[in-house]
Structure 1
Amino acid sequence: MAVRNPRLDDVAAMAGVSAATVSRYLNSPEVVAAATGARIREAIEKTGYVQNLAATALAGSRSRLIAALVPDIAQSIFNDTVEAMIDELASDGNSVMLALTGADNRRLTREINMALGRRVDAIILTGIVSDAELRERLRSAGTTVIETWGLPDDPIDVAVGFSHRAAGEEMARFLRQRGYRRPHLVVPRSPRSERRADGFATRWVHDGGPEPTRLEVNVPSHFGQGRLAYRGLSDLDEQPDVVVCGSDWIAQGLIVEAQAAGIRVPDQIAVTGFGNLRLAGDMRPTITSMDVDGARIAREVMRVLRARAAGKEIETRIDVGFRVIARESA
């Protein structure tokens, strides 16, 4: 004889509560008393009950499924933010669909279409969608869309991030105050990195400096790009006194290659990174970097989602800012 799958009523009976209370716990665990929630969790484990999410989504207005789309996770500055968001989303009773979009707009479009087809409650994007047609489709989808790590003037829905151009300008001001005069930029080919480089160059020239030299590298950033970038310095007409790298990984590779060549950092050449990864503080010399509070981005994303679920009004542009972390390399 086939064994009947456990039902919601079975969980309720074992936990000593009503089926409605179990349902409330499954949909919004925070509204159920802690002791009651503990009994329900224990009953779920003992009975082996599995919630029918598809039926729940059809019966109600929420699927409890969130799509988080990131370009990459290998050696990524987004990892802390993504991990913090997934932890918070799970604690709120959500499931997270994590997808890698790379630098290919077609992959991004495919993953967004997949998320919309699954009727997700929200789509969390890392970066800003540049395709006008795709932005308009997302606007008309009726799904919460949160763009992170950027701050467009006209968000699709809600943006939680910072101005990359302003971050570049701030690094230019910092290095000029430190007395550097001949910057060289190593720029990953991504809209975010290019905006920072353009902001840096604009501020540098505005303050009376020469147009910085520039080397573009592919994305995602990695250690080897820094080593190649250092070797390319010999091709420049004038040697820079500081190299501004688009990521801490590139800065690390450049420093290692310089030290292998007998060049002292920062005495003979200074180096900066971006992202303030753990390696920036672990290197010797430690790496001067631009810090963005990824944990705060995650908290703000959660605040937006909770406000939306409660039907509350929220601001559409949330600026989390940035700061230069001055260390030994510059």
Structure 2
Amino acid sequence: MTQPPRRPRRRSATRSVTLSDVAAAAGVSAQTVSRVVREPDSVSDETRARVEAAISATGYVPNMAASNLASNRSRTVAVLVPQINASVFADTVHAFSTALAPHGYQIFVGTTEYRPEHEEEVLRSFLGRRPDGVLIVGTRHTPGTLGLLRAAGVPVVETWGWSDDPVDLLVGFSHADASAALVAHLVERGRRRITFAGRHSSGDPRAAERLDGYTRAVRELLDADPRTVDAGPEPVTMDTGVALLDLALERYPDSDAVMFSSDVFAAGALQACVRRGIDVPGRVALTGFGDFELARHLVPSLTTVAVPNSRIGELAAELLMARMRRTAVDAPHRDVGFEIVARESS
């Protein structure tokens, strides 16, 4: 009995697109497609564009799990920041991610909420996912965190601080020096009774460093005892800034300047002064830290400390990429500096 002709097999709707499918669509070898996926900079722009167009057209999704097992690399970088909703850190993370993306790296971000013990927990969880590198905000860590970072066996870049003994790579600046420079600015403007307002006991070592710089400068430049008010565990909000202003003027009613440890605090205080008819800077000068976008739009505009937030992310990515590629790093510790931005509030 004659068998009917077999119909050609149709591709299963559930079969995933393969590397070979993309190669055929792009008119290149499967090895070239693999290189575009893993090392996009290793092929010409024309070839990369053709392969990327084929990937888009076919809906191909690389099997990164298999690639990671073969290469012992995850193509991911862990990022630990205190908060993601604070624009200074968001700018750094965005610049860092943007600089890594062309090299095939993705980031996963965890927030520590200014709690050193939580930083250790988040880091331990992330290291279990085997990242190829770590970016962490700050240079002061618990012994447990330091142990994890040093035992991880991957490059680590600390940011947004300064240390004489960094874990590995470092991109940052001295918060103490920045705060001292802000005191010097106020003294030059004739201020003699300067109060520091911020969170000193909240687990934020950078705020503590700013307080140290303020204390040192007040003693050296004014030969005076420091005046401080502490927000404690209160959140970094404009409402907390108003509470800090009230506390500063209640405890030190003759204050002729109040230095806030954050632009957010200073903005809340400045708006409260406008509502209450308190002359700024006539009655009291106000300053912040961070140069958030709102600082220049306030009325009066806010004197503050500007830090190259995005540049920190770009440099961190540059150093980390070099380490992950096992190439030499001539200057592993980069001081990005700071700038006193004098505006109307001082």
Spell out the pairing of 1:187-266 with structure 2 (5 A cutoff): 187-188=198-199, 189=202, 190-217=204-231, 218=233, 220-266=235-281
Matched residues in 2 for 1:108 and 1:234: separation? 35
Q: Deviations over 1:214-236 (max 9, x none)?
A: 11113641111111122223422
Amino acid at match of 1:258: C
CA distance in 1, matches of 2:210, 2:82: 18
Counterpart for residue 87 of structure 1? 98
Change in Cα spacing, 1:304 to 1:75, as seen in structure 2 (3 Å) is closer
Q: 1:44 to 1:237 in 2, by over 3 A?
A: closer
Moved more, 300-309 or 261-270: 300-309
Deviates more, 1:71-80 or 1:32-41: 71-80
Residues 312/205 of structure 1: CA separation in 2 closer, same or farther (3 Å cut): same
Task: Please say if residues 234 and 240 of structure 2, whose CA atoms lie closer than 8 Å, have aligned partners that are also in contact.
Answer: no
**Which residue of structure 2 aligns with residue 144 of structure 1?**
155
How many Å separate the matches in 1 of 2:171 and 2:25?
43
The verdict on how the C-alpha distance between 1:191 and 1:174 changes in structure 2, with shifts beyond 3 A counting, is same
C-alpha separation between the residues in 2 aligned to 1:278 and 1:182? 28
Letter matched to residue 206 of structure 2: R
Query: Deviation of residue 62 (structure 1)?
Result: 2.2
Q: Which amino acid aligns with 1:308?
A: R
Aligned to 2:283: 268
Q: Which amino acid aligns with 2:223?
A: G
- Whole-Å separation in 1 of the counterparts to 2:172 and 2:70: 35
Matched residues in 2 for 1:114 and 1:227: separation? 37
Q: Which residue is 2:16 aligned to?
A: 5
State the match for 1:74 in structure 2: 85
Q: Write out aligned runs for 1:130-209 (5 A).
A: 130-188=141-199, 189=202, 190-209=204-223
> Residue type of the partner of 2:239?
G
Query: How far apart are the structure 2 equivalents of 1:238 and 1:253?
Result: 19
CA contact (8 A) 1:85 1:299 kept: yes
Shift of 1:261: 1.2
Q: CA deviation at 1:238?
A: 4.0
Instruction: Go from structure 1 to structure 2 and tell me whether the alpha carbon gap of 1:31 and 1:220 turns closer, same or farther (over 3 Å shift).
Output: farther
- The equivalent position to 1:297 in structure 2, one of 297, 306, 312, is 312
Whether the aligned pair in 2 keeps the contact of 1:115 and 1:123 (CA below 8 Å) is no
Contact 1:155/1:316 (8 A) holds in 2: no
Of 309, 317, 320 in structure 1, the residue corresponding to residue 333 of structure 2 is 317
TM-score after normalising by structure 1: 0.96
After superposition, the C-alpha distances for 1:44-71 in whole angstroms (9 at most, x for unaligned) are 1122111111111111142111111111
Cα distance in 2 between the residues matched to 1:3 and 1:74: 40
Q: Choose from 34, 44, 53 the match for 1:42.
A: 53
User: Separation in 1 of the partners of 2:68 and 2:140?
Assistant: 27
For 2:234 and 2:90, locate their aligned partners in 1 and report how far apart those are by CA, in whole Å: 16
Aligned counterpart in structure 1 of residue 71 of structure 2, from 49, 60, 67:
60
Partner Cα distance (1:141, 1:159) in 2: 17
Matched residues in 1 for 2:297 and 2:59: separation? 45
Measured in 1, the distance between the counterparts of 2:188 and 2:36 equals 56
1:169, distance to aligned residue in structure 2 (A):
1.4
Separation (CA, whole Å) in 2 of partners of 1:96 and 1:193? 27
Secondary structure of 1:77 counterpart? helix
Unaligned runs of 5+ in 1: none
Q: In the TM superposition, what whole-angstrom CA distance separates every residue of 1:59-84 from its partner, at most 9, and x where no partner exists? A: 11421111111111224421111111
CA 23–129 in structure 1, closer or farther in 2 if over 3 Å, else same: farther
Q: Calculate the aligned-residue CA RMSD, in Å.
A: 1.5
Cα displacement (A) at 1:91: 2.6
Cα contact 1:182–1:212 (8 A) shared by 2? no
TM-score (norm 2): 0.91
- Tell me, in whole angstroms, the C-alpha distance in 2 between the residues paired with 1:137 and 1:230: 40
